[in-house]
Structure 1
Amino acid sequence: MEATVPDLWMPGAERLPIGDVAPTDGGPAKAIAHITWDRNASRAKPQDLVPYANLRSYFAENASGRAVAPHLLWDPFTGQTAQFFPANSRSLSLKDGPGGTRTNRAGSVVIQVEALFFPWCRVKGKVYESLVNTPCEGWDKLCDWAASWGVADSWPMGRPTGFTGKRDEKIWSTRGGWFAHAHVPENDHTDPGSWPGFPADPKPPAGSSGTKQYETFPGTAWFIKGRRSPVVARMHDRLVAVGCDRYKSGTNKDTIGSGDVASYEAFQRKLGFTGSAATWPPGPASWSKLKVPKAPKG
């Protein structure tokens, strides 16, 4: 069976090619999360969101805008999306200093997304402090399109939860997945501040408060072959659920064995880990992504 070729242009997005295409450098597939942050507002002084049409025209038609254009402009309030570069081209939203990593090209793809948002923006009379508080319309389609290009559903430097920078050259150069603008070397921006969860993340059960509890990371020394625990059985079930079943048997699933090692390493590779970072034993970053549920009470 022939492999499916991903779309250069995101299905459903408005195509506004601005030219100036150039290849990427190869390596782990990345996506970069930005916000437009085109007005400075505050809790005391919120401001109306800049119209989507303004930013669309800025990136598509204005020389200054084209010089810093992303792949995608995304309106999380309506789901409208405009695309300015094909997926296999670099875009221009990141600073790229002389020498060092070529930030806009550092992956097989480096898909850059500008969410139309700034903190304390006002839309139809309602004020939004964080991007995650918006409807996030169209995020599932955008995420699926990035995944079709090999971008893993993971945040190698952590999903952004505030406007602080966190940059690590080694992680940037060796890992794929989603990065905040605040994570990119040679850049000083601290956006996006927050970003929606991945569509495939486990959802709280219907009628719950959304506070489902997961097993905390027990430490690398805990993961020794032969350990028997109900946590191991629930880890087994989660690895199967996320498509990383490398088990040869379903017996003794509460005991760590070779199937757990192979399955967990497959999960780490799925997240974008490579080399020694993708080998057993589990680490805290991948464990938090697996979301092994705690035993039900009662």
Structure 2
Amino acid sequence: MNLTELRALATQVGFTGSDINIAAAVAMAESAGDPDAEGDKGLADHKWGSSWGLFQIRSLRHPEQFTPPDTLRVAGKLREPLYNTKTAKAIKDAHGWSQWSTFTNGAYQQHMDGGPAKFEPFPGASFFHTGQKSPIIAAMHQRLVAEGCDRYQSSANADVWGPGDVKSYAAWQRKLGFAVEGVLVSLRLQEAHTRPR
């Protein structure tokens, strides 16, 4: 899998913000994007098995004897890219990125270039008016949906500012604890910078 595919997979399982790019870079550094990669064979013992898949997640011989997220360390399932990535997210959420040596030693950083790791600057409140069309709006639409603030009637014309964007953005502001609706308090929502590939 390439970095674009790895980013899409990371987004699909719930990674957000900069973690999307970090996840893709860690997976690339761990397995070169190979879902069938097997590592750490020499470290296998009565408790631990090999490391498998995109994120080289160490399998457990009897994962059912452990608590989450370790219950997900099933060797046969870790070869499936979606399962492997979901497991990586669970491990990251529980313990942070330090669980991956390619993160702690910085090897993942060589894979951070070449993707939507940059963010668009806030274009100003006047930019957001009915009918405005922009890839920034499409990225914001996608991010608001990912944040659970989807108040859109449909996903058609996701790159055009409309009432669904206003309602979804207001829902996001409420989620952050802002009581004032309709006021652009801040655009901490980091819309991915889109650029041609």
> How would you bin the TM-score normalised by the shorter chain?
0.3 to 0.5
Q: Kindly name which structure, 1 or 2, has the bigger radius of gyration based on alpha carbons.
A: 1
- TM-score, normalising length: structure 1: 0.28
- Larger % of strand: which? 1
Q: Which structure carries more helix by proportion?
A: 2
What TM-score does the superposition give when structure 2 sets the normalisation length? 0.41
